[in-house]
Chains A and B, each alone.
Chain A
């Protein structure tokens, strides 16, 4: 048996060396570079376009405008059908106009994503296999197809269509382990010279506004969220400690990312009677809430992220929340 195996290996070994290795190494580099270009293009170019957003049998139409003013990103994302919902990025500020007409602001003094060197730009996570997958056509434009396959079942895969010219992401599918698309975004129009003004990113007027205030993290009583187990490649990336205006109790957040997938764990103190525990999935997004007890304090922890549910459950089991002294 072993001999057969050894014989088989000697036969097979030269094959990848001769045939697969050169194209693989030649292919891997451009594929990885392409992803970095995609990430940079989405942050640095001016563009305006309309796209379809689909998950399950539901389809929405949206419009996106993106521009750079004074080294700051401005972006407007508008839901075109049904309820009006908008997300606006104005430099360090993120504004969301909700479907009920209210508005929420988050301001991050740490800066906009433009200043953030995201991990993807520096290295492709080793938990993924990135392959060039031919070409295609989206929104009437020639595209390059990239396949991003996860090497374990703790994350989803992607099929990406990047604009030949700009490297912008024109079509994206997030796929589960069975190759089923959980979510699809597809541009139908794209303008790379939209001539956008600052006024195109004005915040809509609303009757009700609230801010997600940053509470000083040095404040005593801050919650510390720690995961005892994380899927390979995931690292703690960002954390904050915010509350809705001054009335609500602050909620701590800790996000984890592998460079492509991200999930965030929230922790808040609760009286324990809250019925908020549960599991929910919307497209690729899973949300899990459960209570945990630490001394006299009951915490409600909520995980929100684009990872498979079993993985999310396992992470959730390992989360420990404590109160900083």
Chain B
């Protein structure tokens, strides 16, 4: 199991070769609940480490996926081999999307709200989106680039966000013991907002 975790970890870091990737995605199907939890935590950790906007995959996602797969494959099952393979293929493709594409679905832009099926099925009880706080841009987003991740302009909300950052900086300056550090953070964020 330990070795499998190593490979999983490598997969999350994009360090597996094609053969390993396929094998890991196939074996994902056999993971028990606690292993899946571990995987979700790793994915979250990895995203946080890479400074990406994240949210955890809803814990019920895997269960719902399994249910959907079971419902789908049961009537269509002809032989163990073919049925099993199809099941693996679907599971693998969805798992790959989970690993690679979750942020795209939960997206930083408003489009994710209206993006039909994935949003409805995956996040019915968790409507939070991963997207910039007010007008702030994220390190990860500037690094990722591309039109699909362009931060949303919420100029109307800017005074509100500025006010919050100011109040937080004021509190932090009183209690962090680090002098002007919280204000430096505030100035940097404000300047970055203005630059965009």
Contact = CB atoms under 8 A, between A and B. Distances in A.
Interface of A: 35-36, 38-39, 41-43, 51, 53, 55-58, 60, 62, 64, 66, 75, 77-79, 82-83, 85-87, 89, 94, 96, 98-100, 102, 104, 106, 108, 113, 116, 118-121, 168-169, 172, 176, 178, 180, 183, 185, 210, 212, 237-238, 240, 242, 244, 248, 251, 253, 255, 257, 259-264, 266, 275-285, 287, 289-290, 302, 304-306, 308-310, 313
B162 A98 contact: yes
A19 to B, nearest CB: 32
B44 interface: yes
A238 B173 CA distance: 12
16 contacts: A56-B51, A57-B143, A60-B187, A60-B191, A79-B190, A83-B191, A85-B191, A96-B186, A99-B194, A118-B174, A169-B181, A242-B163, A266-B167, A277-B128, A281-B51, A306-B172
B168 A255 contact: yes
A77 B137 CA distance: 22
Contacts of B185: 53, 183, 283-285, 306
Contact of B159 (A244, A280, A281, A309): A244
Nearest to A78: B187
Given A251-B164, A289-B133, A180 B194 contact: no
Interface in B1-58: 44, 48-49, 51, 53-56
Interface residues of B, dominant DSSP: helix
A281 B171 CA distance: 19
Contacts of B170: 94, 106, 108
A82 B132 contact: no
Contacts of A83: 190-191, 194-195
A62 B133 contact: no
A278 B131 contact: yes
A304 B140 CA distance: 18
Contacts of A240: 167
A314 B53 CA distance: 16
B144 interface: no
Contacts of A276: 154, 157
A290 B133 CA distance: 12
A275 B110 contact: yes
B184 A169 contact: no
Given A60-B191, A62-B187, A280-B131, A172 B175 contact: no
A76 to B, nearest CB: 10
B113 interface: yes
Interface in B140-196: 140, 143, 154, 157-160, 162-195
A248 B174 CA distance: 26
A58 B139 contact: yes
B177 A121 contact: yes
B86 interface: no
B138 interface: yes
A282 B133 contact: yes
Contacts of A169: 178-179, 181
**Closest 3 A-B residue pairs measured CB to CB?**
A99-B194, A42-B179, A120-B177
Nearest to B110: A275
Contact of A251 (B131, B163, B179, B188): B163
B121 interface: no
Contacts of B173: 113
Contact of B188 (A55, A98, A178, A264): A55
A96 B194 CA distance: 13
A56 B141 CA distance: 11
B96 interface: no
A106 B54 CA distance: 33
B54 to A, nearest CB: 7
Nearest to A249: B160
Given A180-B49, A185-B184, A279 B179 contact: no
A113 B44 CA distance: 37
A277 B127 contact: yes
Nearest to A120: B177
A60 B186 CA distance: 12
Contact of A62 (B128, B129, B167, B184): B184
A75 B184 CA distance: 12
A99 B167 contact: no
